[in-house]
Amino acid sequence: MVNLKYSTNYLLHDLSSQQLDQLKKKAVEAKNHSYSPYSKFRVGCCILTKDNLFVDGANVENASYGGAICAERTAAVKAVTSGQKDWLAIAISGDRIDDCTSPCGICRQFIREFASLDMPVIMLNSDGSQAVLKSFGDLLPMSFGPGSF
C-alpha cells in the first residue's frame, strides 16, 4: 500500500489500479538506467500514454553540466518521438527514501507542451512506498504552453 501524501485522489479516476501500480513500478525501476557519476542522484520517470504505453526514462549527466538531461525529459522525448503525444499520467522517482522527487523547473515547462493541466503527477520516494500526487496545473500554475498565445 502506497501512502499518498497531499493526495487529490480524483486525479486518478482515469487510471486503473493496475496502470497505477505499473506506472510507479516502472518509474522506480527506470533509475537503474541512470548515468549520474557527478551528482550521484539517480532519477527515473515513466509516462503513461493514452494508448496505454509506458515510456520510461532516466537522468543522463555530462561532464559539461549543462549538457545533462533529466529523467522526465528523457521519457518525454522518447514518448514524442515514438508518436505518443497524448499522456494520461507521469511518475517520477529519485534516490531519497524519506522524500519524494518532483520535476525541476525546466522539466515542468517541457512537460507542459504535452500535458493537460489536470494530468496526474505522481512523485515517489526511492522505493515507491511514499507518493505525493498533484495535478500538473498545481505544479506549474499560470503556465505558458500551447494555446497561450
> Residues forming the annotated binding site?
59-65, 70, 104, 107
Please enumerate, by residue number, every residue annotated as part of a binding site for substrate: 59-65
User: Is the separation of the CB atoms in 115 and 87 below 8 Å?
Assistant: yes
User: Is the separation of the CB atoms in 84 and 51 below 8 Å?
Assistant: yes
In 3D space, the residue among 2, 15, 1, 38 whose CA is nearest the CA of residue 125 turns out to be: 2
Please enumerate, by residue number, every residue annotated as part of a binding site for Zn(2+): 70, 104, 107
User: Is the separation of the CB atoms in 80 and 51 below 8 Å?
Assistant: no
User: Is the separation of the CB atoms in 109 and 134 below 8 Å?
Assistant: no
Active site residue 113: no
Catalytic residue among 72, 75, 87, 136: 72
Three-state DSSP state, 71: helix
Three-state DSSP state, 107: helix
**Which neighbouring-strand residues pair with 1?**
none
Positions marked catalytic: 72
